């Protein structure tokens, strides 16, 4: 039986600086899955693997970042790509955490599973992101929770999600990024110092940072 051709719609393979999370500030090569409003190009897994190798041979990168809309929505394609990339550098996936079942198929190649959640007054349930943390921990991958706290997120919400992430895995790296306020970079007032003080009593590996703005930064 012939091997199926694996393809996916990508927004591109750009180089950039990681804007958030554990590897914030690192120069990465991004494999970005296309969102609804983005121009998409269809890539075959074997062709993408060759393109990644060509780019990595020309320039230095800290790591490869799998990101964009529904980054774990096509694990078969990603396994086909990563299994054929010859140049070995660390690989991270930045995901919304809605596909915990994809971790097992990719665990051989993933160094860091980063779940990014936007926290607001009407935030969605976090059951599946928490399961993604558990799956990453079980697979032996480093795992992180990035919380982008919008201005309407309450202190109680933030503390609760820290408690839940700690319960899912005590090895979770938690990064809290204050969200934008009125289109401007947020100010780290005394509230944030108090929140992080409370958070680290629950989970010691909790840190606070401002995101790096574009255009050089990507996620």
Higher-confidence residue of 184 and 117: namely 117
At 27, list the tokens.
Answer: 């120069």
**In this structure, are residues 158 and 120 in contact, taking their beta carbons and an 8 Å threshold?**
no
Nearby residues of 57 by Cβ (< 8 Å), 6 or more positions away: 87
Tokens of 18: 């990681």
Closest CA to 110 of 81, 132, 150, 142: 142
The tens digit of pLDDT for each residue in 137-195 reads: 999 999 999 999 988 999 999 999 999 999 999 999 999 999 865 556 666 788 999 99
SS3 81: helix
Joined tokens for residue 184: 């401007």
| Domain boundaries, given as residue ranges, for the chain | 7-211
Q: What are phi and psi of 106, to 5 degrees?
A: -115, 0
Specify the pLDDT at position 84.
97
For the segment 10-68, what is each residue's pLDDT rounded down to a tens digit?
A: 999 999 999 999 999 999 999 999 988 788 899 999 999 999 999 999 999 999 999 99
Report the DSSP pairing between strands 7-12 and 41-44.
antiparallel
Specify whether the CB–CB gap between 52 and 81 falls below 8 A: yes
Q: Locate 101 and state its tokens.
A: 């079942």
DSSP 84-146: T--S---EEEEE-S--GGGHHHHTTT-SEEEEEEEE-TTPPP-HHHHHHHHHHHHHT-EEEEE
Residue 26: count of CB within 10 angstroms of its CB: 16
- What fold characterizes domain 7-211? TIM Barrel (3.20.20)
pLDDT at 3 over 70: no
Asked whether the CA dihedral 16, 134, 172, 210 is positive or negative, the reply is: positive
DSSP lists the bridge partners of residue 18 as 218
CA separation for the pair 31, 145 (Å, rounded):
20
């Amino acid at each position: 039986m012939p091997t199926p051709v694996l393809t996916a719609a990508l927004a591109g393979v750009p180089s950039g600086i990681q804007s958030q999370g554990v590897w914030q500030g690192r120069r990465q090569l991004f494999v970005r899955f296309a969102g609804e409003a983005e121009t998409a190009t269809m890539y075959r897994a074997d062709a993408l693997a060759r393109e990644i190798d060509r780019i990595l041979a020309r320039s230095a990168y800290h790591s490869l970042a799998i990101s964009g809309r529904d980054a774990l929505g096509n694990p078969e394609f990603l396994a086909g790509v990563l299994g054929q990339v010859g140049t070995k550098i660390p690989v991270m996936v930045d995901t919304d955490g809605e596909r915990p079942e994809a971790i097992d198929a990719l665990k051989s190649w993933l160094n860091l599973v980063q779940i990014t959640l936007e926290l607001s007054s009407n935030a969605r349930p976090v059951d599946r992101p928490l399961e993604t943390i558990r799956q990453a921990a079980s697979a032996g991958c480093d795992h992180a929770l990035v919380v982008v706290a919008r201005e309407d997120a309450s202190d109680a919400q933030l503390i609760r999600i820290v408690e839940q992430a700690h319960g899912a895995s005590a090895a979770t790296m938690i990064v809290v990024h204050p969200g934008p306020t009125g289109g401007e970079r947020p100010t780290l007032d005394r509230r944030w110092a108090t929140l992080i003080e409370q958070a680290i009593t629950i989970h010691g590996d909790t840190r606070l940072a401002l995101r790096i703005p574009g255009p050089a930064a990507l996620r």
